[in-house]
Chains A and B, each alone.
Chain A
């Protein structure tokens, strides 16, 4: 019984992601783009969740690991003959190396993980506001350097001619892999120790848990996963470095908060919910006919709606849509039978 419930906590989110992937095969090519974006968002948000959700420490810096993933996969997989045109100042070892699809994703993940580890070594001693500001500072530095240091990349130009290998299948597989990794971590000894420090730092320390080490491990793992998500993203859409800065930080944090910060289920639900909403709004900005009525929103309405919903969720339901709890069939059937939800036991 208990094992079944545990298995469901993994199968629930994974099934939802696979369902989204399968659904995406039935729609037109233009709509499919929204599905791929949503699945990459799942990977990104779950990566952030691994640290923020399990540790309870806010991080504004995870998009910097995503950004170095974008950079590593982008710079390395652009065909050699194209590099001099877009990136004339590149270091030799970068301009003379080209890697394929899967290796570039692995390198993106590794670069993200190593960067997070190096950054985390000093920063994980901080908590609270100091940690929030320091991770923000890391994001600022990463953006600043990728923007102007043209020996390592295209600077402010777009990463053009990166092979577009991330399709629906790869995005789905990627999201499932990230979910499995996050689940394995949170059920492991390390993950449980970190969650203990989140609930009661003093008690966790008293039973011999090192807050610093547990946070560092989660930070590195979540940087690894965020780098991987960044790799998936650059193989999907050509972007420049400013596309992976404040706006993306905001929207991914919004997804996590709206879904529910403290559960894997919440991260997945939040990412898919906000992505779906965002896609519908994007269609409406282009003019969409719905039941015979043409809805035409002015460009830029998306962020207005998403940020309003985020603020509303925080004010009315601070635990997020899922209440920060894991997937459970009991609660789902309970909802159908209109029974009052059980008290939170986590």
Chain B
């Protein structure tokens, strides 16, 4: 790593400002931001860190692979992906999240850790370690040339989808009464319940929205990584979880920003590090995470110091 600091720094900087690397990094950041919203939304309402979020994405990806195996049209495959992820989210909410609502954050985190491994091992039993391939949307991987840059269509799709999803979510949270209820429950769930917010409805809706986002991410990720294995999206989820905590879990905006930033940073490091050092990419990322947490334990963009008391 000292070699990297001594000789590679100028190369690194010139690679990092390369527009090609920038666009890819933003595309990755957009996908990670969507995952961060899914995790942050559930945390806001239920005070629960869902470690099993990646396995929802994995399940959706297997649904896509299943459809692509049978040569179903892409639309039908995407519908199946949504159905599987939403059904699984609902089941998770009923069977695991609700009974644990009164437990400490640590117990809930470990419980979702168990669910994550459960789903992963079921996938392993079902599909084997080599997994399946989902190819029905592969044509999105072709590049288009815009202003001298080769941009893959999926990068554009990812950025547009992320922006649309976030806009819809903001509209839902600020313009509808269920959105208002969710915000109330996120700020003070007990008082909100006393004022007539139905806890079960709010928690179901937030888990369902998070599920929809997971399905969207499953579609976007399978285009880039068509080989779906039981550990699909596991690494990504770990990195996004770190990003969400780094951004600050207490507010949805800061969690989303954290997710985007860590995606952007890993895209940048991945694109700009020479290949001999890119194998240490996780170390750089996790090192950054630790540094940020030491300086701002409540997150980069958080306003309060509430997290310590809450958890």
Chain A interfacial positions (CB closer than 8 Å to B): 56, 58, 122-123, 125-130, 132-134, 136-138, 140-141, 144-145, 147-148, 246, 250, 253-254, 257, 298, 300-304, 307-308, 310-311, 314-315, 318
Closest 5 A/B residue pairs (Cβ)? A128-B311, A137-B286, A303-B121, A307-B118, A310-B114
Do A315 and B96 touch (CB < 8 A)?
yes
Do A132 and B109 touch (CB < 8 A)?
yes
| B100 interface neighbour in A137, A246, A301, A315, Cβ under 8 Å | A315
| B293 interface neighbour in A130, A144, A145, A315, Cβ under 8 Å | A130
Chain B facing A: main interface SS: helix
Question: How many residues does chain B have at the interface if contact means C-beta atoms less than 8 Å apart?
Answer: 45
How far in angstroms is the closest Cβ of chain A from B121?
A: 4
Within 8 A of A (CB), among B71-116: 95-96, 99-100, 103, 105-107, 109-111, 113-115
Q: Which of B57-65, B193-201, B238-246 contacts A (4 or more CB under 8 A)?
A: B238-246
Told that A307-B115, A315-B99 touch, could you supply 16 new A-B pairs with CB distance under 8 A? Answer: A129-B49, A129-B307, A130-B307, A133-B241, A133-B242, A133-B293, A138-B290, A140-B283, A250-B113, A250-B114, A253-B110, A257-B110, A300-B125, A304-B122, A315-B96, A318-B100
How many A-B contacts if CB must be within 8 Å? 126
Query: CA–CA, A314 to B113, complex, Å?
Result: 11
Query: CA–CA, A136 to B234, complex, Å?
Result: 14
Do B294 and A137 touch (CB < 8 A)?
no
Within 8 A of A (CB), among B241-273: 241-242, 245-246, 249
Asked if B298 CB lies within 8 Å of chain A CBs, one says: yes
Query: CA–CA, A148 to B246, complex, Å?
Result: 26
A137 and B242 in contact (CB under 8 A), knowing A130-B297, A314-B114, A315-B111? yes
How far in angstroms is the closest Cβ of chain A from B304?
A: 14
Residues of A within 8 A of B143 (CB): none
Can you spell out 24 A-B residue pairs with CB atoms less than 8 angstroms apart? A122-B290, A128-B308, A133-B293, A136-B241, A136-B286, A137-B287, A141-B286, A144-B280, A144-B283, A145-B280, A147-B279, A298-B125, A301-B125, A303-B121, A307-B115, A310-B111, A311-B118, A314-B100, A314-B111, A315-B95, A315-B96, A315-B100, A318-B100, A318-B107
